[in-house]
Amino acid sequence: MERQRTFGPYGPGMQIARDGVGVDRDRPGLGRVFHQALIASGIDLNSSDDWFSFQSYLDAIWEIRDRFGDATVFCLGCGIASEARWPEEINSVWAALESLNDVYHHHHRGDGDIGCYTAERLSESRYSLTCTTPHPPDQDLGIVRGLCNRFGDTAENWMIQPQREAQAETSTVMVDVLRLDRLQSQPAPQDWMNNDAALLRTVLKEVCDVVGDVTDELDQKTQQIQASKDRLQQLIDNLGERHAVFSRSNEEGTLQFLSHGFEAIFGVEASQALSRRLEDIVEWTDESRLRLGQDSHALLCGDADHCHGEYAFVHPGGQTRYAEISSSRAVSENESLALEGMIHDITRRKELELELKRTATHDSLTSLLTRREFERRYAREHSRALRYGHELSLILLDLDQFRRLNDRHGHHAGDDVLRAIAAVLLAETRDSDLSGRYGGEELITALPDTAIKDANSLAERIRCRIEETKISTGGQLLTITASLGVATFANYHCTAEQLISHADQALARSKSLGRNRTTIYNQG
């Protein structure tokens, strides 16, 4: 249906007063729906404006009429009359009808013809109103009904009956207004009047039912949305202390929402973390801080829609812990972009992974590198020394008469001796050195960037410490000595295997010279 733009010959500059609009935004039913239509048409009753465009007011009326039918105009008329502000001296239906023309014109201004109203008092309980207006006659009937609702005694029940209606550029309607409690003394109305009034009441009831259904549906949807929010909050709360949900602003990356698991993971209260960046409130390791900043930048700049990573941090208690963070770009409730995601405490999992990795690379008895892991790392150090011309030294150590010790005191005593000697080796070497268990009682150490003189001095210090060490096992104290061979990759080129062979030859020389000594490999 093509929408009519005006009701009659209204001028484009015509305005309507705030009280003339007559719709309370808190009124249930049609009043609330009409208020929404007014907002959409540019009339905001919450503003400080006293006058509004009458064309916008008409647009809102036609919007309601398009949605709910012609009889809705009757309801709007009821609202205009019932909710508009009237002078204090008007306190009865007759006074309102009599002053309707003046009040109606007072609420409008402009050059357009807005019609007129003429009231006549036929008896104490019966009035006549002639309405000559350019808008649909249903609104006039609605205005009269609104007056009866506003000024009639609560015990009074009024009947409003159109007597005559002419179709022209303006509509002229004569309306009978009767009090039903005194209707017995009045002449019986014509049948067509009763039928028309009944039809109008039926249509009005149907419109109100439709509006009520819409209101009920809106309330139901609102309850469903709230229930969904409550359920989501419950799910978040049930995640436990090892999980946290967060939301960050897209502009600055500051935290806007945190679930209660955040404090359990990071040891930082949510109140202290909100409005700050995640990168700034946790003591991340350098590598994790760098990756987290890069991931956040990619999301904030739109270079990525989703980021996932594992990050290490130092807990306020001093322990190194780990968090898995997944972040995605999302649209917030105010339709602005935000970053949302989940944080998972994976410290226990990472500790197990590190333990498994250490088990695979370290000897379970001595905690030294396994032979396979030593050879892998040693090959890398040899390649580096060869590439950059650096020195690389090896110390190969063998415990003297170890098999005899095992036979005499048992394998448990042998294990205690190996653990004690490995501890001496680790205590005397640097973190950058590589120490491993090369054979049963053979231990080996690679010394990057170490000259032959320094390597020999370290080997002698280790030999002396081993000789001085008293090892408690099985209720007795044992001692043992060691023979060592030292070789260096410096002024001549040799492969990684050849360097180990040189150290082994030097070790054999120590054994042949009586054990408990250190020998340097001599190429000549």
Q: 52-77 as b/e, with b when 16 or more CB fall inside 10 Å?
A: bbbbbbbbbbbbbbeebeebbbbbbb
Give pLDDT, residue 322: 93
- Catalytic site residue from 333, 441, 467, 468: 441
At residue 459, the pLDDT reads 97
Q: Tokens in use for 96?
A: 């309102």
pLDDT tens per residue, the chain (524 residues)? Answer: 333 333 333 445 667 777 666 554 444 445 666 777 788 888 887 888 878 777 787 777 767 766 665 555 555 555 555 555 566 777 788 887 787 777 666 555 444 455 677 888 887 777 887 877 666 566 666 677 777 777 776 545 666 666 655 455 555 666 666 665 544 444 444 443 444 455 556 666 666 766 777 777 788 787 777 777 666 666 666 666 677 777 777 667 788 777 778 888 888 887 888 888 888 888 999 999 889 888 888 887 778 888 888 999 999 888 999 999 888 887 665 556 677 888 889 998 988 888 888 888 999 999 999 999 999 999 999 999 988 889 999 999 999 999 999 999 999 999 999 999 999 999 999 999 999 999 999 999 999 999 999 999 999 999 999 999 999 998 999 999 999 999 998 756 789 999 999 999 999 999 999 999 999 998 76
* Stretch (H or E) spanning 403: helix 402-409
Sheet holding 434-437, edge to edge: 434-437, 442-448, 392-399, 482-489, 518-520
- Predicted local distance difference test score (pLDDT) of residue 235: 64
pLDDT at 85: 56
Find, among 7, 22, 8, the residue nearest to 76 by Cα: 22
Q: Is 423 exposed, middle or buried (0-12, 13-18, 19+ CB in 10 A)?
A: middle
**pLDDT of the residue at 164:** 55
Say if CB 426 and CB 444 are below 8 A apart: no
Given a contact cutoff of 8 angstroms between Cβ atoms, the answer to whether 511 and 401 are in contact is no
Reference 394, options 430, 433, 428; nearest CA is: 433
- Per-residue three-class SS string for 339-370: EEEEEEECHHHHHHHHHHHHHHHECCCCCCEC
Using an 8 Å Cβ cutoff, are 37 and 75 in contact?
Answer: no
Q: Is 441 a catalytic residue?
A: yes
Q: For the chain, which domains are there?
A: 15-208 (3.90.1520.10), 243-351 (3.30.450.20), 363-520 (3.30.70.270)
Q: How far is CA 68 from CA 22, 144, 150, in A?
A: 19, 21, 24
Q: CA 238 from chain center: how many Å?
A: 17
> Amino acid identity, residue 83?
E
Residue 3: per-residue pLDDT: 37
SS3 content of the chain, % helix, strand, coil (to 5): 45, 25, 30
Residue 190: per-residue pLDDT = 43
Q: Give me the phi and psi of 145, to 5 degrees please.
A: -60, -40
